[in-house]
Structures are given as structure tokens and as C-alpha cells.
């Protein structure tokens, strides 16, 4: 079962809420006896209760009619499962099944990534907000230039005084930063959000009121900063100057890049293992079918088995070890003559 197969059997109700059918999931997890699969569903429901979750939100029983002949139908029980329910079922399924073991390993990796998600989420928010602050500061200065602001340094520094009620050098000292540091690079997402709001609203005010000249533009900046401070105080949030400085944003960027690389490595490992499992299964099926068109005394394919050979070539091409034909000969006891013909088809 790969993610595409899992998503293919997903259904969506009239409220655009996703769900899965238990019987379809059972087939994907290679449970031929649905009674055995029901035991897994019951274990998953128990796990759901122990996690203080309502089973009604994740396991919904219903009855459906299935065809048992040309015209006959039979009513059978089925379950609508949430994504969380599917996760619990896989965790409680038979690990002796290769497909189940692979997915359990995959979810174990995902769990570890979720443990890191709080830090990753903050890193992502910081990067996005930092980029937005840079972009809107540029827009603000462009608007200020159009408002005939001439002293950009004073206009730039004024936002610290109005939002923080401190001068830039005092903020650097209070937050224990190096004078060469960019203050914005040491803000957390909360502080960056306040500065983004300051930049967007100051620009909007100057444009909306058609403000001109340095003094009036600085006054507009002051009013916006003052209003933001007032709002923060009313909400009992931490004032910007009291928010501790955090590590340089370059470390957040590095962590996200490393996390993205690890996710790529984990996904690649999972997809290769899954491709191996599915290719082995399909190869065996094709080989079993080929016995009906094979000369038993020569172990050599008849002309009408060319389509089977072509299919084998397609399977091997998509296999992680597609060039190691010796592996196929050894693992599946395929004759060298078969592999020679398959190899020729692969080169076409």
C-alpha cells in the first residue's frame, strides 16, 4: 500500500469530509478473511478510547448490499473510517504481513517527525513572517519616498520608538544582542507578526490619507505603533520589548532544510521497500500464469507468451534493483533463458 493507493480508496461525503471503507482497507492490507480484519478494527477502537477520542467520530458502522451473483445481493456490515482510524488499524494490524510492517515503520518515522513539528512550525512561521516583513518594509519605504520623506534613517528608526517605546540601541541592549545583529533576524514569530502588522498598516495609512512630508509620515508611523501597543496591552500579550531574542533565523532555515532532507530520505526508503514488495508479488503472479504457456520439458517460453515476457520486463524496469538480473534468477528461480529474453525486451 503506498500513499497513492491509500488516497485512491479515499471517499468524500457531501460535506467534503474524507473517509475510508473498512472492507477496501482490508483488501489493501492483504486480509483475505474480513473476520480477522474485524478483530484489528476492534483493537483500533479500544486504542481510540484509551486515547480519549470518541469512536463515533472515527468508526461509523453501516450496512451495504454486495453482489454475490448475476442478480443476487447480500447485506453486509461495513465501517466508515477516519484517517486517524486507519492509522490505528495499521498500528494494530498483523506485523508479519510485509505491507503492514512497512506502514508501521513509516508511521513510526512520521511520529518522530511530529515530535519535531512544534519547533519546525515555529521555524516555518518565522521564515515566512521574516520574508513578509522584509517585503512590506520595502513597500513602506517606497510609499514614504512617494510621500516626500527624505530622512529614511530617522523614518526607519521611528518605528522602534513608536512600537517599542525604546530606541534601536536600547532594544539591542535590552535583548542582549550584538550591535551588528539585525534585530528582525532574532525575533520570534509573535514579535515578527507585530512588526508585519505595523509595516502594512503604516503603509496603508500613508496611502489612504495621502500623507505628505517627513513630519506627517512619522506621525502616521507613531499612531500605528501606538495603536498596536495599545491592542497588545488590552489582550494581555507580552510587550514587544519584553519578548526575549531568539537564535539567528539562519539556524531555523538550516533546521528546516535538514528536516526536509530527512523526510525525503525516509520517503525514498519507504517507496523503495514498497516497490520491492509489490514487484515481487506481481512477478510471482506473472510467473505462475506463465506456467500454462511454458514447455515443461525445456522451460522455454512459447511464442504466445511474449506478452508475459513484456510484462515481466515492465515490472523489472520499475524495480529498485532493475539492473541486477541475477537477483531475479536466484530469488524467483527464473531460467537464464527467460531473463535473456526479458533483458532484450528491456533494451527496446
106 with 265: CB under 8 angstroms?
A: no
Q: Report d(CA 104, CA 91) in Å as an integer.
A: 6
Q: pLDDT at residue 279 above 90?
A: no
Q: Do 39 and 128 fall into the same domain? A: no
Instruction: State the pairing for strand pair 73-81/59-67.
Output: antiparallel
Residue 298 lies in a domain: yes
Range of the domain at 126: 118-247
Query: Does 282 map to a domain?
Result: yes
The reply to whether 243 and 273 lie within a common domain is no
With a cut of 90, say whether residue 186 has pLDDT above it: yes
Instruction: Answer yes or no: do 299 and 219 share one domain.
Output: no
Based on the fold, state whether residues 281 and 311 are members of the same structural domain.
yes
Q: Rounded CA gap, 182 and 36, in Å?
A: 62
Read off the pLDDT of each residue in 321-343 and give the average, rounded to a whole number. Answer: 57
Q: How many CB atoms lie within 10 A of CB 311?
A: 19
Q: What is the percentage of the chain residues whose pLDDT exceeds 70?
A: 70
Please state, rounded to an integer, the average pLDDT across all residues of the chain: 78
For residue 322, tell me if it sits in a domain. Answer: yes
The answer on 209 and 293 residing in a single domain is: no
0.75 surpassed by pTM: no
124 and 228 in a common domain? yes
Q: Classify residue 258: in a domain, yes or no.
A: no
Question: Where are the extended beta strands (E) located within 211-344?
Answer: 294-295, 300-301
pLDDT over 80 (residue 146): yes
Q: Does residue 7 lie in a domain region? A: yes
**pLDDT band, residue 299 (cuts 50/70/90):** very low
240 and 302 assigned to the same domain: no
The verdict on residue 259 lying in a domain is no
- Of 31, 63, 95, the residue that ends a domain is 95
Residue 212: CB atoms within 10 A of its CB come to 13
Residues 122 and 239 in one domain: yes
Regarding whether 309 and 278 lie in a shared domain, the answer is: yes
DSSP 87-103: HHHHHHS-TTSHHHHHH
Q: What's the domain count of the chain?
A: 3
CA–CA separation, 180 vs 151, rounded Å? 22
Residues 130 and 229 in one domain: yes
Q: Is residue 103 part of a domain?
A: no
Amino acid at each position: 500500500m503506498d500513499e497513492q493507493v491509500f488516497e485512491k480508496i479515499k471517499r468524500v461525503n457531501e460535506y467534503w469530509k474524507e473517509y475510508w471503507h473498512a472492507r477496501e482497507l482490508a483488501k489493501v492490507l492483504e486480509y483475505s478473511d474480513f473476520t480477522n480484519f474485524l478483530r484489528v478494527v476492534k483493537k483500533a477502537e479500544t486504542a481510540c478510547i484509551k486515547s480519549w477520542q470518541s469512536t463515533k467520530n472515527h468508526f461509523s458502522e453501516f450496512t451495504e448490499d454486495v453482489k454475490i451473483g448475476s442478480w443476487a445481493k447480500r447485506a453486509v456490515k461495513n465501517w466508515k473510517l477516519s484517517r486517524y482510524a486507519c492509522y490505528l488499524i495499521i498500528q494494530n494490524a498483523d506485523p508479519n504481513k510485509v505491507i503492514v510492517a512497512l506502514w508501521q515503520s513509516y508511521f513510526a518515522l512520521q511520529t518522530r517527525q511530529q515530535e519535531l513539528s512544534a519547533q519546525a512550525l515555529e521555524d516555518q512561521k518565522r521564515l515566512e513572517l521574516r520574508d513578509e516583513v522584509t517585503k512590506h518594509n520595502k513597500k513602506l519605504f517606497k510609499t514614504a519616498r512617494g510621500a516626500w520623506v527624505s530622512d529614511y534613517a530617522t523614518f526607519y528608526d521611528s518605528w522602534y520608538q513608536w512600537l517599542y517605546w525604546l530606541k534601536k540601541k536600547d532594544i539591542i541592549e535590552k535583548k542582549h544582542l550584538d550591535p551588528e545583529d539585525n534585530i528582525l533576524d532574532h525575533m520570534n514569530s509573535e514579535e515578527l507578526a507585530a512588526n508585519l502588522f505595523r509595516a502594512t498598516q503604516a503603509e496603508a495609512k500613508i496611502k489612504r490619507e495621502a500623507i505628505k512630508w517627513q513630519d506627517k509620515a512619522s506621525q502616521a508611523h507613531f499612531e500605528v505603533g501606538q495603536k498596536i501597543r495599545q491592542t497588545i496591552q488590552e489582550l494581555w500579550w507580552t510587550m514587544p520589548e519584553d519578548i526575549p531574542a531568539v537564535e539567528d533565523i539562519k539556524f531555523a532555515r538550516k533546521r528546516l532544510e535538514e528536516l526536509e532532507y530527512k523526510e525525503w530520505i525516509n520517503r525514498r526508503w519507504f517507496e523503495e521497500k514498497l516497490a520491492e514488495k509489490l514487484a515481487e508479488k506481481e512477478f510471482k503472479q506473472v510467473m505462475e500464469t506463465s506456467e500454462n504457456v511454458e514447455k515443461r520439458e525445456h522451460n522455454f517460453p512459447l511464442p504466445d507468451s511474449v506478452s508475459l515476457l513484456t510484462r515481466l520486463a515492465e515490472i523489472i524496469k520499475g524495480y529498485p534493483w532493475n539492473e541486477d538480473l541475477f537477483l531475479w534468477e536466484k530469488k524467483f528461480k527464473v531460467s537464464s533463458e527467460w531473463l535473456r529474453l526479458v533483458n532484450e525486451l528491456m533494451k527496446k
